[in-house]
Amino acid sequence: MISRHDVAAVRASSRASSLLQGVRRLAAAAVLALGFAGVAQAAIDAYTFKDDAERARYTELTRELRCPKCQNQDIADSNAPIAADLRKEIYRMLGEGQSNQQIIDFMVDRYGEFVRYKPELNAHTWLLWFGPAGLLLVGAVLIGVIVVRRRRSDREDADMLSDEERQRLAHLLDKNRE
């Protein structure tokens, strides 16, 4: 027969299970809400262009220039306030009829070569362009030197056997062949 204590325990267990399930649902809802909060705040620029060529120039320029705050995002993808200002500035300059090079030069004068994803090759950027290849070359030469030294060391170690050790080694090798 089922006692009152058993019924009370089942009811308490059921309430705890319901409470735990409610907490899980609340946590899942909070995670979803936080996940969508970033999407809801994403900046959307609504610019009107006189033709598709101007829209393509705008897209090309915003993809070519780096956000000064984000550092590894172009200004087209960045939600930083400075990126929004730069997009507005590009739109304004396109509206004034300035060329892509004039716009890029303006941005470089204002923010430095860093603002470009592909900086020009000049005296200030040669290390940026050739540094990785130079480091790779130095690493390959270093590995080559280490390999050559180890091979020489191994040969010298093999030549350091005395006559007695060589005879013993020959005897052991002959013994293993039998």
Mean pLDDT of 8-22: 67
Domain segments of the chain: what residues?
Answer: 1-42, 52-115, 126-177
109-152: pLDDT as tens digits = 998 888 887 777 878 778 878 889 999 999 999 999 999 998 88
Report yes or no: 83 and 67 within 8 Å, Cβ to Cβ: yes
CA-CA-CA-CA torsion sign (68, 70, 76, 82): negative
For the chain, the average pLDDT equals 81
Q: Pinpoint the alpha helices (H) of 41-162.
A: 52-64, 81-95, 100-111, 126-159
How many whole angstroms separate alpha carbon 101 and alpha carbon 111?
15
How many whole angstroms separate alpha carbon 20 and alpha carbon 18?
5
35-67: pLDDT as tens digits = 766 554 445 567 888 888 899 999 999 998 988
Closest by CA to 116, choosing from 124, 108, 127, is: 108
Structure tokens at 46: 């609504």
Query: Model's pTM, two decimal places?
Result: 0.50
CATH class of the domain at 52-115: mainly alpha
